[in-house]
Amino acid sequence: MTVGPDTLAALLKRKDVLPAGWESVFGMVAREDFVPARIWPDDTEALLDRDRDPEAWRRAVYSDRALVTQWDDGRHSGTEAGRLATSSASTPSTLAEMLYDLDAAPGMRVLEVGTGTGYSAGLLAARGCRVTSIEVDPHLARRARENLAAAGFGDLVEVITGDGTLGHRAGGPYDRIQVTAGVRRVPAAWIEQAAPGAVIVLPWGTDYGSGDCALRLVVGADRRGASGPFTLATAFMKLRAQRPDWRRYGGAALPDDWTAYARATTTTLGYDDVVGGPFDPVGFVLGLCVPDCLARPVLHGIFGATLWLYGADTGRGHSIAAADFGADAPTIRQSGPRRLWHEVEASWHWWNARGRPTIHDFGLTVTVTGDGVVDQQPWYGATTFPLVPPAHDWPARGRG
């Protein structure tokens, strides 16, 4: 059976994720024109090489799967999966749903942050949009230009090599901004370079977990802020400028003997309660409730797990907590100015008491202040955060 662009368009139509007017676009733009010869489907992370097995490669290209196209910022060259996936061809259904949120119409100026293979930019160009796309990796930017030119979109998409968090003022103001990398802090440039009423669609999340949620922001008339709801649980590779920075969360600043100053407690919650699965809302909600916190779950075989929590220094020093879950009752150790586990536990009870609302009940308001600083204010209905005040009733060291 021969597969191709029409096969993918039909698949997305059956899944009911194709926006109105986009079926012909997906049928027109061949994903294979943008995907490199070597790919790692992220559900297997086993290399598929077009030269060795063209049929398997083609089936993967026209499936609804994300395809890793680069590891370790291009330093990886082997056949095995690398350490960190740093570029990919997004899952087509996720791309389609985010294009639905974007609502881009012919003639609109669109800024894309994260060119990757160029496939998404090609779809927008085929839709009739005027596209400026920014890619931080020079090799990926060059290859995307080649892909777009070969597919017939070279004159319709301008690919800029640079830092996407800075936008591209010369091409604005933009009617739409599409971001294809995970964001932790919305840059002021995106709002300032958007037209009043423009839509910005981006994957947004916190350092509590690696997952993201698609966020649909509408820019205000004064172009000093934007607000909107979360629409879709997903996961994207993070902007290179916004990957979790261990130095912010302690690094060498945390003393090796922190356990000597830690306070011990226990909990009625379990590991799964506060970690959840890949698209479980609990991790995302806890990240909203417990700001400036990096969470790292560690499994110990089938017998137990530890959830490590690291609190950034926001003026009173770093904090750390370790929640150990095993056969016996959980053991919690906390040290530093914040009681990170107590914040997580209180936030979980807040979420549970409200019937465990999904990500669709939450949103984000972004405001650019006079000095260019961006304030991000999560909300739940009419309630704004913090929902649970940070717990810090002892000094950073000692038992004071």
- 70 by DSSP, 3-state: which? strand
Q: How far is residue 288's CA from residue 207's CA, in Å, rounded to a whole number?
A: 10
- The enclosing H or E element of 293 equals strand 293-300
Q: How far is residue 191's CA from residue 15's CA, in Å, rounded to a whole number?
A: 33
Number of C-beta neighbours around residue 68 at 10 A: 20
Q: How far is residue 233's CA from residue 281's CA, in Å, rounded to a whole number?
A: 8
Of the residues 63, 88, 319, 335, which is catalytic?
Answer: 88
Q: How far is residue 2's CA from residue 200's CA, in Å, rounded to a whole number?
A: 37
Tell me the pairing of strands 174-179 and 304-311.
unpaired
Residue type, 381: G
Sheet holding 263-265, edge to edge: 263-265, 331-335, 319-325, 304-311, 293-300
Q: Are 172 and 160 in contact (CB under 8 A)?
A: no
Q: Are 293 and 207 in contact (CB under 8 A)?
A: yes
- Cross-strand pairs, 177: 111, 200
Number of Cα atoms under 13 Å in the Cβ half of residue 179? 33
Nearest partner of 122 among 91, 155, 100, 168, judged by Cα:
155
Active-site annotation holds for 210: no
Q: What is the DSSP letter of 157?
A: E
- The enclosing H or E element of 48 equals strand 48-49
323-328, Cβ contacts within 8 angstroms, sequence gap of 24 or more: 323/267, 323/271, 323/274, 325/270, 325/271, 326/300, 327/303
Q: How far is residue 194's CA from residue 200's CA, in Å, rounded to a whole number?
A: 8
Q: How far is residue 231's CA from residue 281's CA, in Å, rounded to a whole number?
A: 12
- 87 by DSSP, 3-state: which? strand
Catalytic residues: 88
